[in-house]
Structure 1
Amino acid sequence: MTDPQLAVVILAAGQGTRMKSRTPKVLHRLGGVPLVGHVLHTAQELGAQHTVTVVRHERERVSAAIMEMAPETIIAEQDDIPGTGRAMEAGLEALPNDFEGQIVVLSGDVPLLDAATVGMLLDAHRTNQNELTLLSAFYDDPTGFGRVVRDDAGAFDSIVEQKDASEEQRKITEINSGVYVFDAAAARRVLPSLGTDNAQGEKYLTDAAHVIRGEGGRIEAIGIDDTWLVQGINDRVQLGETALEYNRRLIRYWQRQGVTVHDPASTIIERGVSIGQDVELLPGTQLRGATTIAAGAIIGPDTTLVDCEVGEDAVVKRTDATLSVIGARATVGPWSYLRPNSIVGEDGKIGTFVETKNSTIGNGSKVPHLSYIGDTTVGEGSNVGAGTITANYDGVNKHKTTVGNHVRTGSHNVFVAPVTIGDGAYTGAGTTVRKDIPAGALAITVAQQRNIEGWVVENRPGTAAAEAAARAEEGHTDAGTGNLS
């Protein structure tokens, strides 16, 4: 449900120089999703009527990514005046003039903050009729963070930045997380009064609390102990550490949904993945993108699936697959490579050292070993022999191979596309198929074998092969006379 009295402003204007990257900080990926994508998802779960994202650094690139993920988002651009206070002003100006509800302020580089925690903050804000409510967190080591100062009764008093804090205030372990709920009227009243008279020459959003407090407005700070929820990303170290924590939490979620994860430390699951009950994930499994795994499937070990669909009770091991569909009870691997648009039907098989691309393997059909199958359709119940190659590319265009139902092809075949193999047909070992095979026919391309006796002894004298051949010939001669040595 959409809440008409709720707006979310996401601050995503920072450059993120400590990332040392050509990619804007908020577009670095965590759990398969850009950092700002996690925050946009939280805004959607809150049901906000309006979501505004404030951009500045590489605004075109960041804006395009946001529009792709959440096209309903309003993009606001921060001008050259720096600081979170100025960013919030830009976000406020993008909201309808008649909006008088609550504004949740989130940071585009804080990916783990969930809608439940923000919802708790919003409920407290509304229940207690605050003008400003901020989320705080308790850190064992709060160095570098602004401290939340409380009065003798435990109520919010002020926010003191690290550089301005006294020795006593630096001992405070409650920090300001940068997550706020403003009443829109209070924000419109206070933000224009914020100045840049500070060491950084920036408009600080934290100064809004000082102004509201001075006017007698009600402010509340609500603390949480789970510091990961407010962990911001400033460099690659924090990105890596937060990604590990996110993955750990996601794995625990799926375990509680009935998924067995044999080695959580070596398993990666991204945000868009869906997994059914009684699925087993073996060590070294990576499930990425929009992959879906149906109930009872076994995935891994050492398997990466990207945007794949796996049916019930399928087994996929030591496989790399992208944009592919694996049917119920099918088996894939080990050491299989499924390139985009590969489809394996129910009870089908893709075996060891098989590569497929843009191909459909019908129900119950098998490609067991050492084959390349590209731009091919295989019908039901067929078996493609070991070492088969579909020669689908003529140097300019790709061509299609069609294999019918219940076909049996021999080992080391080459299908020179375009070619069709009819239902129930057979091919002999070593066959090169250059023209269509009728249903029920046997195709062979076998030249008469020719043996040139004595060739090795004559042409490779002194080699181990020549010596072995000579001994064999000598033994054969002796056996013919009955005088075995």
Structure 2
Amino acid sequence: MQAVILAAGLGTRLEPVTNTMSKPMIPVANKPFLQWTVEKLGNFDIIIVVRKEQKDIIDFFSERVTFVYQDMPRGTGHAILQCKDMIDDKFMVINCDEFITEEDLKKFSISEPCTLATFRHPNPERFGVFTIENNIITGVEEKPETPVGNFVNCGLYMFDKSIFSAIEKTKKSLREEIEITDAWKSMEPKAFLLSDWETVVYPWDVLTINAKILEESGSMIAESAEIRPGAYMEDPVAIGENAVIGPNCYIRKYSSIGANCKVGNAVEVKNSIVMENSFVSHLSYVGDSIVGRNCNVGAGTLFANLRLDGKNVVMDIKGEKTDSGKRKLGCIIGDNVKFAVNCVVMPGKKIWPNMLVPPCMMVTSDIREQPCLHNHRQQ
């Protein structure tokens, strides 16, 4: 069977991480998120829809999949339409940012066309919400303030070639995009209920899925990793190739430390992702945070993860203050960021790639431009 993975989106809500890598290549449990999906699909004939500039995806998966190019993201319907000449008959479509269990994918693969996956979500207002009558999906409302139910659109579909004519008849949305949710409305799609589901919309969703994968898979410690005396690790964690852990550090559960990283003396890492070639060498705390590639965290630097008032951490997403729904959430650090000694990054703050953070700086707002390296104690 064929499977089409939609991966051409820009991922702007995940900045600054997506400034230097495609959204599907963000590592969770030390593998690109998209790799987990490809592995779960097993023997499927996989087609991935990408933009030509997404070289990181193309280079990584070139021997395993076929690529179809979308010049610019113009909606999910438009992305699927690019595959028209390559599809035999029945085929699965999945968004690149969906976490779906392997068991659910196997069960869904025998569904009839046209079938759409759904999940009962406790916060349906964040997603497209289905109206379902007698297991037939009769409508969808995008991010309603007062949802009619809690069955959400999970970005997993089963179609046959008839979907292409439906897409071609679909008018553009207000965003000037062709939406697959408009195309299937006349096809009386059936609903398929998933047992579990997560999706990556915001940076903190990456940490949620990292924890979920580690919980399923258990600890993954590379044979080439060096675990030095006094290092204490709580299962489950992921430790990459040639990483050096210790001496005398604490790696708490649901942490992923990438290849060639160093976590050294008197460092605590909790529920965080530290990407490849990054160093947290001494006397530091990394809590509920994402640290990009090739970063260096200077001695005494702390990534705070809890507001003093105990309220949910708020993060600026594309200019809007967004409630993360989490009491504990640290910072999001882009690639190639270097911290001097004794810095503090407050909860929910982001630092763009290639920044140099001067000594003793307290980061209380996002850093998008290089701060002055002298006489600045607060940003």
Q: TM-score w.r.t. structure 1 length?
A: 0.45
CA contact (8 A) 2:30 2:238 kept: no
Q: CA deviation at 1:284?
A: 5.2
**Which of 70, 74, 83 is the matching residue for 1:82?**
74
Alpha-carbon separation, structure 2, partners of 1:155 and 1:178: 17
Secondary structure at 1:37 match in 2: helix
Partner of 2:239: 288
Q: 2:182 aligns with which of 207, 224, 234?
A: 207
Give the Å deviation of 1:38: 1.4
Letter in 1 for 2:193: G
2:139 aligned partner: 159
State how far apart, in whole Å, the 1-side matches of 2:257 and 2:206 are.
23
Unpaired segments ≥5 residues, structure 1: 1-5, 214-218, 255-268, 275-280, 292-299, 309-317, 319-485
The letter of the residue matching 2:233 is P
In the TM superposition, what are the counterparts of 1:5-20 in structure 2 within 5 Å?
6-20=1-15
What corresponds to 2:323 in structure 1? none
Q: Which of residues 91, 106, 109 is equivalent to 2:97?
A: 109
Instruction: Kindly state the Cα deviation for residue 135 of structure 1 after the two structures are TM-superposed.
Output: 0.7
What is the distance in 1 between the residues matched to 2:238 and 2:36? 18
Q: 1:244 to 1:133 in 2, by over 3 A?
A: same
Structure 1 residues 34 and 81, CA gap change in structure 2 (3 angstroms): closer
Kindly provide the amino acid, as one letter, of the partner of residue 190 in structure 2.
Answer: E
Q: 1:220 maps to what in 2?
A: 190
SS of the equivalent of 2:100 reads coil
Tell me, in whole angstroms, the C-alpha distance in 2 between the residues paired with 1:305 and 1:236. 17
Matches within 5 A, 1:122-271: 122-123=109-110, 125=111, 130-151=112-133, 154-162=134-142, 170-183=147-160, 185-196=161-172, 198-213=173-188, 219-226=189-196, 229=197, 231-251=198-218, 269=220
Give the equivalent residue in structure 1 for 2:331: none
Aligned counterparts of 2:191 and 2:177: Cα–Cα separation in 1: 24
Q: Distance in 1 between matches of 2:67 and 2:6?
A: 11
SS across alignment from 2:97: coil
Q: CA deviation at 1:301?
A: 7.8
2:29–2:238 CA contact under 8 A, matched in 1: no
Q: Shift of the alpha carbon at 1:273? A: 8.1
- Note the C-alpha offset of 1:105: 0.7
Unaligned runs of 5+ in 2: 225-230, 243-247, 266-379
* CA deviation profile, 1:219-270 (whole Å, cap 9, x unmatched): 21011342xx3x221222111222122222222xx7xxxxxxxxxxxxxx37
CA contact (8 A) 1:273 1:287 kept: no
Shift of 1:195: 2.1
Q: Note if contact 1:30-1:239 (Cα within 8 Å) is conserved in structure 2.
A: yes
**Which structure has more RCO (C-alpha within 8 Å, separation ≥ 6)?**
2
CA contact (8 A) 2:2 2:91 kept: yes
State the percentage of identical aligned residues. 18
From the superposition, tell whether residues 307 and 55 of structure 1 become closer, same or farther in structure 2 (CA, over 3 Å): closer
Instruction: Say whether the 8 Å CA contact 1:273–1:288 is kept in structure 2.
Output: no
Contact map agreement 1:104 1:180 (CA 8 A) in 2: yes
Q: Compared with structure 1, are the counterparts of its residues 81 and 10 closer, same or farther at alpha carbon in structure 2 (3 Å cutoff)?
A: closer
3-state SS in 1 of match to 2:124: coil
Alignment deviations for residues 364-409 of structure 1 (CA, whole Å, 9 cap, x no partner): xxxxxxxxxxxxxxxxxxxxxxxxxxxxxxxxxxxxxxxxxxxxxx
CA displacement at 1:305 relative to structure 2: 9.2
Contact 1:19 1:234 in 2 (8 A): yes
CA distance in 1, matches of 2:207, 2:66: 30
User: Residues 11 and 108 of structure 1 are in contact (CA less than 8 Å); yes or no, is this contact kept in structure 2?
Assistant: yes
Helix, strand or coil at the partner of 1:149: strand
- Structure 2 SS opposite 1:210: helix
Instruction: Supply the distance in 2 between the matched residues of 1:20 and 1:158 (Cα, whole angstroms).
Output: 35
Alignment of structure 1 residues 406-417 onto 2, 5 Å: none
* Deviations 1:23-80 (CA, angstroms, capped at 9, x unpaired): 221111111011111121122x2x21x210001273233312222xxx1311111134
Letter of the 2:22 counterpart:
P
72, 77, 83: which one aligns with 1:91: 83
Letter in 2 for 1:25: K
DSSP-derived class of the 1:206 partner: helix
**Residue pair 1:86, 1:203 contacting (<8 A) in 2 also:** yes
Residue 81 of structure 1, CA deviation: 6.1
Instruction: Write the distance in 1 (CA, Å) between the matches of 2:209 and 2:145.
Output: 31
Identify the residue that residue 336 of structure 2 maps to in structure 1.
Answer: none
Do 1:36 and 1:109's aligned partners in 2 also have CA atoms closer than 8 Å?
A: yes
Cα distance in 2 for partners of 1:301, 1:202 equals 50
Aligned to 1:72: 64
Tell whether the 8 Å contact from 1:149 to 1:159 is kept in structure 2 after alignment.
Answer: yes
- Give the corresponding residue for 2:29: 31
Q: Distance in 2 between matches of 1:113 and 1:51?
A: 16
Secondary structure, in 3 states, of the residue corresponding to 1:87? helix
Letter in 1 for 2:82: A
Aligned 8 A contact 2:163 2:184 in 1 = no
- What's the C-alpha RMSD, in Å, of the aligned pairs? 3.6
Distance (Å, rounded) in 1 between the aligned partners of 2:193 and 2:200: 20
1: distance between equivalents of 2:258 and 2:126?
39
TM-score, length basis structure 2: 0.57
Which aligned pairs between 1:267-346 and structure 2 lie closer than 5 A?
A: 269=220, 283=233, 287-289=238-240
> Could you tell me how far apart the structure 2 residues matched to 1:186 and 1:176 are?
21
User: How many residues matched?
Assistant: 249
Higher helix fraction: Structure 1 or Structure 2?
Answer: 1
